[in-house]
Amino acid sequence: MSFLRIHAQPGRSVSLVLSWFLFASGITAYFYASAARHRDNPDDRVTPTIAQMVQGFRDAASKPAPEHEDLGDAPQTTFARIQSSMLWTDTAATSRRFLISVALLFPAVLIGLHMAMFPYVGAFFLRFFQFFDKIVALSLLPIIFIAFGIDELSKVMLIVIGVAPTIILDTFNLTKSVPSEQIVKAFTLGAGDFAIAYRIAFRQIMPRVLNSIRLNLKSVMLFLFAGEMIAASDGLAIRIRLMQRQMGMDTIIPYVLWVALLLFLVDLGMNLLNRKLHPWFEET
Amino acid sequence: MAGIQIQNVCVDYPVEGRGVRRILNGINLDIEAGEFISIVGQTGCGKSTLLRLILAEEMATSGRILVNGKTRTQPDRTCGYVPQRYSLFPDKTVLANITFGLEVSEFGPFGLFNPARPKRMREFRAEALRYLRRTGLHEADGRKYPHQLSGGMQQRVAIAQALILKPPVLLMDEAFSALDPGTRTGMQRLIKELWRESGTTIVFVTHNTREALCLGTRVVALAKDSTGERGASVALDLSVPHLDFDSNEEEIHRLIREVESATLPVCIPREETATVYN
């Protein structure tokens, strides 16, 4: 069993084959099952063929949502048609909520930084956020809808409440891990408390904080989808839910892959941004 | 230049479930302005604690420490500091590390938009390059990040970073301990030269007796007191002749033995401590 050796060194081509093997076998298994089901029942909607999925995605990307089809004449240019398409409007709605939520996580980073740098602020907030972090955000959903209504604010609040405590505590721990020698050194160089907090600690933790936010992007999307599925009129999640009622797997599967692709691109973008902004940071 | 007075300093640390443990007991030490003093002792004898007290990073349980005739409550520009590790800010280039003190002292934490900043920063960078060259580094090294430098180069930058502010006192905590012997000797010669040029008071903590003897104009040994406060360290001001790097090897070895025997646990009646411990 030479492949179960700690010091084994798989070659480049072997690594390539291994890393794509599960993708290839998953896709093959799906299309085998899909073909078999379609042989038995040509109208099968559970496992759409690749042609059906391509058609479903093309329709989503070029036609307006069914609830908007009666709104005036169809746009003429391709760009205008894409802009009013179901996929575009859903992606824009979800992205807007997503970006607002991620932007609202920035104050969470500052809270965590101040908690770690200034003991009074830490004593004030730490226990509260440690407790708050244990509350399952989705269990607060009814309270959030009652308190903030069912419009945009409630969905954003769900994400903030769900993810902010984790980011705060993560930032707190990262700031605490800045070596004390650096803090003392900065004092001896004439830096004051805020200069040390922002010019030393904040700059050193930023790449790791960005990594932490990257790792929490899936949680952000999870809370966003939960909020959208329960109370939204547009967005990727509510579209998947509406399609589920119609057994529209030819649209659901491309939508799921589209969401994964978007999240992958955001993750990739943040990673590249992190490298660009912090060339000194090697862990990225 | 500043002198340091350490007056009857005791330090206790709480030990969980066992009250407190005394680390330093009745330390008295007068360090003249411009002296190069080496503090030597075995691991765990409180050398770094004593340094942190002078730095005002820690407060003594009793007694007081005066730097320039003043007591302080937190580290400041009075004492420069070169620790063994983490001496540079990893997110800043070498030049930015050296100019950081000058910049933050003049412009504060949020001075990025100060109109005078660009001109002053050019002046700071020119000054930093001068210090960079003086510590044996090249201008090209100024653009590098600390992780791109060797350990010895990093400590050279750390010394430049501290000295550019012309601090009255420079505290060095095992600053060369992590370096290989060749680099270490080079750094020792460098710090001695810089001390002669600047006249800064230097307190150099090391567990390396040879280093302590060759660098310091005076050597203070911290030794655990086996009587009285058992386990707490006391300071022994050793009257050893000043050595240089080129001193006779036999003489160096004799003094190393003498100093190392002084750092072994001592057994001295408490009433005699005042005369023996400086």
**The pLDDT of residue A136:** 87
Instruction: Return the residue of B nearest to A185 by Cα.
Output: B81
Query: Is pLDDT of B226 > 70?
Result: no
Q: Which of A170-174, B146-150, B205-209 has the lowest mean pLDDT?
A: B205-209
Residues in A touching B162 (Cβ below 8 Å): 188-189
**The pLDDT of residue B278:** 31
* Numbers of helices and strands, H then E, in chain A: 13, 0
| Residue among A242, A230, A241, A237 at smallest CA distance from A258 | A237
Burial class (CB in 10 A: 0-12, 13-18, 19+), A265: exposed
CB within 8 Å of B202: residues ≥ 6 apart: B35, B36, B37, B169, B170, B171, B172, B191, B195
**Token output for A137:** 């955000």
Strands lying side by side in the sheet with B79-82: B62-67, B4-14, B20-31, B233-238, B218-224, B36-41, B201-206, B169-173, B79-82
A161-A167-A173-A175 Cα dihedral, nearest 10 degrees? -120
| Residue among A171, A160, A94, A155 at smallest CA distance from A132 | A160
A13: helix, strand or coil: helix
Measure the CA–CA gap between A231 and A238, rounded to whole angstroms.
8
The count of other CB atoms within 10 Å of the CB of residue B239 is 7
Mutate to test the interface with B, among A114, A182, A184 (most CBs of B within 10 A): A184
Span A75-126, pLDDT tens digits:
567 777 777 788 888 899 999 989 988 898 899 999 999 999 999 999 999 9
**The pLDDT of residue B112:** 77
Span A20-54, pLDDT tens digits:
999 999 999 999 999 999 898 888 888 888 888 89
A184 contacts B75? CB cut-off 8 A: yes
Residues in B touching A203 (Cβ below 8 Å): 89, 91-92
A168-A170-A175-A179 Cα dihedral, nearest 10 degrees? 170
Distances, alpha carbon A227 to alpha carbons A89, A156, A220, in Å:
17, 8, 11
**The pLDDT of residue B86:** 86
CB within 8 Å of B277: residues ≥ 6 apart: B26, B27, B28, B234, B235, B236, B237
Span B247-266, pLDDT tens digits:
677 777 777 777 777 666 65
Measure the CA–CA gap between B155 and B176, rounded to whole angstroms.
8
DSSP A133: T
B255: helix, strand or coil: helix
Task: Kindly report the pTM of this predicted structure.
Answer: 0.83
Residues in B touching A113 (Cβ below 8 Å): none
Distances, alpha carbon A14 to alpha carbons A5, A37, A189, A263, B167, in Å:
15, 34, 53, 28, 60
| Residue among A147, A61, A156, A53 at smallest CA distance from A104 | A156
Measure the CA–CA gap between B22 and B28, rounded to whole angstroms.
16
A188 contacts B75? CB cut-off 8 A: yes
Residues in B touching A190 (Cβ below 8 Å): 76-77, 101, 104-105, 165
Query: Is pLDDT of B240 > 70?
Result: no
**Token output for A174:** 């990262």
- In chain B, the percentage of residues whose pLDDT exceeds 70 is 86
B75 contacts A187? CB cut-off 8 A: yes
Question: B237 or B199: whose pLDDT is higher?
Answer: B199
Angstroms from B76 CA to nearest CA on chain A? 4
Mutate to test the interface with A, among B54, B58, B104 (most CBs of A within 10 A): B104
Angstroms from B65 CA to nearest CA on chain A? 17
Mutate to test the interface with B, among A174, A188, A278, A282 (most CBs of B within 10 A): A188
**Token output for A175:** 């700031």
Query: Is pLDDT of B271 > 50?
Result: no
B167 contacts A179? CB cut-off 8 A: no
Measure the CA–CA gap between A216 and A98, rounded to whole angstroms.
12
Predicted complex ipTM: 0.85
Measure the CA–CA gap between B66 and A100, rounded to whole angstroms.
54
Angstroms from B98 CA to nearest CA on chain A? 10
Averaged pLDDT, B224-250:
68
B86 contacts A190? CB cut-off 8 A: no
Asked if B11 and B49 count as a contact pair (C-beta separation under 8 A), the reply is yes
B89 contacts A189? CB cut-off 8 A: no
Residues of A with CB under 8 A from a CB of B: 179-182, 184-192, 194-195, 197-200, 203-204, 278-282
